[in-house]
Amino acid sequence: MIQPLVPRLAIIGAGLIGSSLARAAREKHLAGTLVVADADPAVCERVRQLGFADMVTVDAAEAAEGSDIVVVAVPVGASGKVAEVVGPRLKPGAILSDVGSVKGFVVEAMAPHVPAHAHLIPAHPVAGTEFSGPDAGFATLFENRWCIVTPPEGAAPEAVARIVALWRAAGANVETMSAQHHDLVLAITSHVPHLIAYNIVGTAAHLEETLTSEVIKFSAGGFRDFTRIASSDPTMWRDVFLTNREAVLEMLGRFTEDLTALQRAIRYGDGDALFEHFARTRAIRRSIIEQGQETAAPDFGRRAAEKPKHEDS
Amino acid sequence: MIQPLVPRLAIIGAGLIGSSLARAAREKHLAGTLVVADADPAVCERVRQLGFADMVTVDAAEAAEGSDIVVVAVPVGASGKVAEVVGPRLKPGAILSDVGSVKGFVVEAMAPHVPAHAHLIPAHPVAGTEFSGPDAGFATLFENRWCIVTPPEGAAPEAVARIVALWRAAGANVETMSAQHHDLVLAITSHVPHLIAYNIVGTAAHLEETLTSEVIKFSAGGFRDFTRIASSDPTMWRDVFLTNREAVLEMLGRFTEDLTALQRAIRYGDGDALFEHFARTRAIRRSIIEQGQETAAPDFGRRAAEKPKHEDS
Ligand SMILES: NC(=O)c1ccc[n+]([C@@H]2O[C@H](COP(=O)([O-])OP(=O)(O)OC[C@H]3O[C@@H](n4cnc5c(N)ncnc54)[C@H](OP(=O)(O)O)[C@@H]3O)[C@@H](O)[C@H]2O)c1
Ligand SMILES: NC(=O)c1ccc[n+]([C@@H]2O[C@H](COP(=O)([O-])OP(=O)(O)OC[C@H]3O[C@@H](n4cnc5c(N)ncnc54)[C@H](OP(=O)(O)O)[C@@H]3O)[C@@H](O)[C@H]2O)c1
């Protein structure tokens, strides 16, 4: 029999990301033993029903005990607490990792709890959907998506290599960078986009009631595109904004400056400035599609997924 | 033989919207004769090849001559010019209509050219994709989408009824309202969303070059959702912002106020305010899905549409 990539793999937190990693590990036989822990007994029960783990427990410490790799997949704000519980149980040579959307904070919160005989190698798979919980996960979530690994200074190369290998085996492409750089890049590729999506949906919700119902009705004009990411998990996103404050405020500042310029162009009827701006942004989408990170199908290919309901008014 | 809904239908402008209406009319036998005009000879040639019109011409006046309904489907800024050419050729009882994304301006621009013996009944199908031109159109574009008809005060009810019937026959649900109200509702459901999408993609494009390439790479974190509508036609959108200035500035002001509040919550670490905001916006998406205006599939159902390309790094 071939030796599995990870003799004993523990995943703490069985939500969208944790359960997707567990499913991928199960399907691709990446772990000799796959242990899943979740603080919520109901989630544990559901994981047992779904059957993608060898062992399920509410006790993160028990899951970590004897594991070669422990992946923490809980909201960023809870990662320090989990590390506190898990750290003392890590065996010599074990690797503690995570999947959090913010990396600088996670290192600060987790590192103090990692014993000298173990390794902390944080990671962030840049893949997800607007759903959460163990039922939302699926084994192919990471296929052809990027996973960013942020080894702390002086990290053991062989430990980094094992985390890189795990994510490659789960289907992802892997990039390494510093936690600080990660947090800046993600502020503009993910955190600020989520913030402005949450914001415009909020603005619409604050309108007079009749207007809000019209926003829902006529949302196919563009608005509905924003509602997808604005329906993501509130706990996860609260934690992201609380823990990546600096980089988010920096990128938000740039966004607002640029928006002010567009607003002026509208106010003063500067059609050339508007045209020039609108013509430049197409190239970015083209590159994203060329790099296989987006579909070229019109409307995200929504029509294939939709089941049209006919209603007459 | 059953009498077609429109004995002679002319469509001026054979882009995404014009060619979609022409295709729907053709498939559903809505017109006795279907005439398509476009100012661009290359577009006319392509329409001939695609074969969805009975007659194709560069001359809008010729197309209008003898037509029962003339639908102008050009960028909003060009609608006055087209009305000037077409107006004098309208036969008694003919209806001039349009599909423009702004209605107040269109009425102002077109009305002076409509003779007393004809009717001006503007309309706006709230449906589209990020593509343009005659190849982008398809017959089912308007299925289960809304079309807003904005009859000017004192419009003849039978003329309004004919335009409503045309859009219903093309698959749309129809709502009528004033041009002014339309422009306010669309500012928040479509125009401001497009503006902020164009803006965030612009902000990303302005970053240092290496950062921009990372934005493209890691766009699956949320950013790519915005690039779809930010790749829409620059001419069309320039015209929208130039012609719906008041309502756009009003809604943009509300958006910015709300964003400032979120920014403060981030700066001062007010997790409760963030959570509360993020938890409220989900209901809006749920309503949009319930009303059949959006798919419930995760990630817009992108995975079904995607053809994953594997690249290793
Ligand atoms: N969603 C995305 O698109 C995405 C993408 C990339 C990375 N991430 C990151 O992945 C992490 C998890 O996100 P997710 O979307 O998978 O979240 P999720 O679906 O909400 O799942 C999180 C799970 O962790 C459990 N949990 C919370 N605190 C815990 C603790 N102290 N000990 C053990 N389990 C605990 C939660 O249980 P309860 O039900 O009791 O809360 C829940 O079952 C976050 O750090 C997020 O930043 C998310
Ligand atoms: N795209 C959407 O999502 C959407 C949705 C609802 C409503 N609308 C509205 O629909 C209208 C058309 O948009 P579209 O997306 O169909 O645009 P499009 O694909 O760019 O097509 C517009 C067509 O009109 C032609 N044209 C321009 N000026 C003309 C003139 N003076 N006489 C005759 N033809 C002329 C253009 O030819 P050239 O190639 O020479 O420019 C082009 O072929 C706009 O008013 C827009 O606001 C658009």
If phi over 0 gives left and psi between -120 and 50 gives alpha, with beta otherwise, what is residue B66?
left
CA distance A203 to B253: 10
Give the start-end residues of each E strand in chain A.
6-12, 31-37, 55-57, 69-72, 95-98, 119-120, 123-126, 146-149, 173-176
Q: Kindly provide the b/e burial profile for residues A137-154, where b requires at least 16 CB atoms within 10 angstroms of the residue's own CB.
A: bbbbbbbbbbbbbbbbee
How close A205 comes to chain B (CA, Å)?
A: 7
The answer to whether residues A134 and A46 touch, using CB atoms and an 8 Å cutoff, is yes
* Gap from CA of B48 to ligand 2 centroid (Å): 18
- CA distances, A207 to each of A238, A297, B100, B104, B193 (Å): 24, 33, 25, 21, 15
Domains in chain A, start-ordered, CATH in brackets?
6-177 (3.40.50.720), 181-305 (1.10.3660.10)
Q: Given CA atoms B223, B226, B232, B236 in this order, what sign does their dihedral have?
A: negative
The answer to whether residues B5 and B30 touch, using CB atoms and an 8 Å cutoff, is yes
| Interacting residues of B146 by C-beta distance below 8 A, sequence separation 6+ | A217, A218, A220, B125, B126, B127, B172, B173, B174, B175
- pLDDT band, very low/low/confident/very high, at B313 (cuts 50, 70, 90): very low
Query: Is residue B306 predicted with pLDDT exceeding 90?
Result: no
Q: Tokens 């103090």 map to which residue?
A: A112
User: Which of A 164-183 lie inside 8 A of B, CB atoms?
Assistant: 168, 173-175
Task: Report the run of H or E that residue A74 belongs to, with start and end.
Answer: none
- Mean pLDDT (whole number) for B62-88: 98
> pLDDT truncated to tens, each residue of chain A (313 aa)?
578 999 999 999 999 999 999 999 999 999 999 999 999 999 999 999 999 999 999 999 999 999 999 999 999 999 999 999 999 999 999 999 999 999 999 999 999 999 999 999 999 999 999 999 999 999 999 999 999 999 999 999 999 999 999 999 999 999 999 999 999 999 999 999 999 999 999 999 889 888 999 999 999 999 999 999 999 999 999 999 999 999 999 999 999 999 999 999 999 999 999 999 999 999 999 999 999 999 999 999 987 766 544 333 3
Digit-coded pLDDT (tens) for B7-27:
999 999 999 999 999 999 999
A206 touches chain B (CB under 8 A): yes
* Gap from CA of A132 to ligand 1 centroid (Å): 8
Compare all CA atoms of chain B with the CA of A147 and give the residue at the minimum distance. B218
CA distance A176 to B52: 53
**Residues of B in Cβ contact (< 8 Å) with A202:** 258, 262, 277, 280-281
Query: Is residue B153 predicted with pLDDT exceeding 70?
Result: yes
Residue A51's CB is within 10 A of a number of other CB atoms, namely: 9
How much of chain B exceeds pLDDT 70, in percent? 96
* Gap from CA of A14 to ligand 1 centroid (Å): 7
Q: Which two tokens stand for residue A38?
A: 């979740």
For residue B105, give the ligand nearest its CA.
2
- pLDDT band, very low/low/confident/very high, at B54 (cuts 50, 70, 90): very high
pTM assigned to the model: 0.95
DSSP SS3 for A11? strand
Asked if A186's CB is within 8 angstroms of B220's CB, the reply is no
CA A26 and chain centroid, separation: 20
Q: Which two tokens stand for residue B159?
A: 């003329």
Query: Is residue B177 predicted with pLDDT exceeding 50?
Result: yes
Residue A90: per-residue pLDDT: 98
Of A133, A143, A298, residue with least CA distance to A225: A298
Task: Report the run of H or E that residue A156 belongs to, with start and end.
Answer: none
Residue A312: per-residue pLDDT: 36
Angle between helices B16-27 and B41-50 (to 10 degrees): 30
Residue B159: per-residue pLDDT: 98
**Residues of B in Cβ contact (< 8 Å) with A269:** 242, 245
CA distance A232 to A218: 22
Q: Given CA atoms B290, B293, B297, B300 in this order, what sign does their dihedral have?
A: negative
Q: Tokens 């036998």 map to which residue?
A: B29
Q: What mean pLDDT value characterizes chain B? A: 95
Query: Is residue B196 predicted with pLDDT exceeding 80?
Result: yes
- CA distances, B64 to each of A41, B4, B54, B91, B92 (Å): 70, 18, 14, 9, 12
Question: For ligand 2, which residues put their CB under 6 angstroms from it?
Answer: B 12-18, 38-40, 43, 60, 73-76, 78, 81-82, 99-101, 124-125, 128, 132-133, 233, 236
Q: Where are the alpha helices (DSSP H) in A65-188?
A: 79-86, 104-110, 157-169, 179-186
- Mean pLDDT (whole number) for B294-313: 70
The answer to whether residues B9 and B68 touch, using CB atoms and an 8 Å cutoff, is yes
Torsion of CA B280, B284, B290, B292, to 10 degrees: -160
In a mutational test of the A interface, the residue from B258, B268, B312 whose CB has the highest number of chain A CBs within 10 Å is B258
